[in-house]
Amino acid sequence: MHDHDHPHHDHSHDDGAALPEIALRVKALESILVEKGYIDPAAIDVIVETYETKVGPRNGARVVAKAWCDPAYLARLRQDATAAIAELGFTGRQGEHMRIVENTQQRHNLVVCTLCSCYPWSVLGLPPVWYKAAPYRAKAVIDPRGVLADFGVALPKETEIRVWDSTAELRYLVLPLRPAGTEGWSEDRLADLVTRDSMIGTGLALQPGAAA
């Protein structure tokens, strides 16, 4: 963990010329495996689609929305996030060791994995490309306020920014601040305000009226 006070997987079938070198290698390897009959491209598409749209980040949004609405559930999240998240049926891939970190008016949390790209797939789906990139991993530790500015997030100077370094043993889910004016909203409606970036800390929850 680093404290700072005041201060995708792309499974495209487009023209390979637009792809980075690592994507070209993956594409070539996939072609060989398909040609030899070891893998079914349709099955790969289903897996990717599942993680991108079904597994997450909608799962994480449901966790956040329930925590906003249900104080008892929030208490369980604080005590054992892995178990509380599993209550909603979200388990598995890199979601075995979870902890929530809560944003407040005085503190904003930002998640990074400085050594690799540990990421809670079960609640956020596939990690975005920028999360795995060296510039983000380095700058998040050195200049977290600058990272937030890159994502269009401007916080008051007095807001503490705390950076959490995910590892294979522990992964973090940011609980963003609940937007004002959402009193009495249902969990489903609140979940529409929760973005992937707000659960990483590079964004904020959407304001009412912005979800559409």
Which position among 12, 31, 116, 186 bears the catalytic label? 116
Q: What domains lie within the chain, and their CATH numbers?
A: 16-52 (no CATH), 54-200 (3.90.330.10)
Among 14-23, 94-103, 166-175, top mean pLDDT goes to 166-175
Give catalytic status of residue 117 as yes or no. yes
Which position among 12, 31, 69, 118 bears the catalytic label? 118
- Report pLDDT for 20: 61
pLDDT digits (tens, 9 = 90+) for 143-194: 999 999 999 999 999 999 999 999 988 999 999 999 999 999 999 999 999 9
Give catalytic status of residue 113 as yes or no. yes
Give catalytic status of residue 116 as yes or no. yes
Query: Structure pTM?
Result: 0.75
pLDDT digits (tens, 9 = 90+) for 110-136: 999 998 888 888 899 888 889 999 999
Token reading at 168: 């294979």
Which position among 12, 31, 69, 113 bears the catalytic label? 113
CA-wise closest residue to 136 among 124, 121, 126, 146:
146
Render 72-112 in DSSP notation, one character per residue.
HHHHHHHH-HHHHHHHTT--STT-SSEEEEE--SSEEEEEE
